[in-house]
Structure 1
């Protein structure tokens, strides 16, 4: 089983948690992005650079992910696609998406897109808090324990 990271928007602090977990748990973590990435030297850390373009990194993750893999992403449509393939999706704030919650998230995302398209300022997500980091580490730990 592998961990795939939608790395273009993944916060640095979350990447650092993943660097440590990869070596400690001896699990391969692949960071997928459309820009060059630098990761610490490790036989468990990989980068995959894809062409620039809308959803190119997402599509590559969906193409490569397998049932049981973990995908780190805040992208709701990507999370929905990997769940359909039997993978697990975890966002950088520690929320594990499920078949039960992903439809609600997609609906809310579409609603917010409609509001923004009509000119309403919806603001962005709050900055990542220490609590979010702890929730992410906990969610990652849960997946790692399940894979053992």
Structure 2
């Protein structure tokens, strides 16, 4: 199965295309505002408003053999701990080998932003190369999940 943390996910169409090719059930989870897909393999899950409700829904279900797509690092850590494969939107895998460092970096950056309210910037824009890297990574993850 594929679980998608759908709020602010720039690769929903790509996930659906690759998941359909592999005939994998997909759960697109959000707090609402996402148009449901007519694809029978895609189930749109709308959770109640609240902090981390969509994340908890995914983390409570994702396990070994599943693929989770998220940019949320704490959610990724829980899913990695449960044995799921986790991919960021740019195709970067989050694994037991790197999730600790990624969490630490996230916390450090949050502290830096809190200490300097005038700090500008954010992430770099999502590029065609990111989309291509994501498609390749998702393809590999689904093959590995089947094997």
Q: TM-score, normalised by structure 1?
A: 0.93
SS in 2 for 1:30: strand
Counterpart Cα distance in 2 of 1:101 and 1:122: 27
The aligned counterpart of 2:40 is 43
- Cα RMSD, aligned residues only: 1.2
The aligned counterpart of 1:7 is 6
Deviant stretches of 4+, over 4 Å: none
Indicate conservation of the 8 Å contact 1:8/1:33, yes or no: yes
User: 1:122 Cα shift?
Assistant: 4.9
For these two proteins, the number of residue pairs brought into alignment is: 145
SS in 2 for 1:82: helix
Counterpart pick for 2:123 among 121, 125, 136: 125
1:79-94 equivalent positions in 2, closer than 5 A: 79-94=76-91
Indicate conservation of the 8 Å contact 1:115/1:122, yes or no: no
The aligned counterpart of 1:112 is 109
The aligned counterpart of 1:34 is 31
**Gaps in structure 2 of 5+ consecutive residues:** none
Indicate conservation of the 8 Å contact 1:88/1:96, yes or no: yes
**Gaps in structure 1 of 5+ consecutive residues:** none
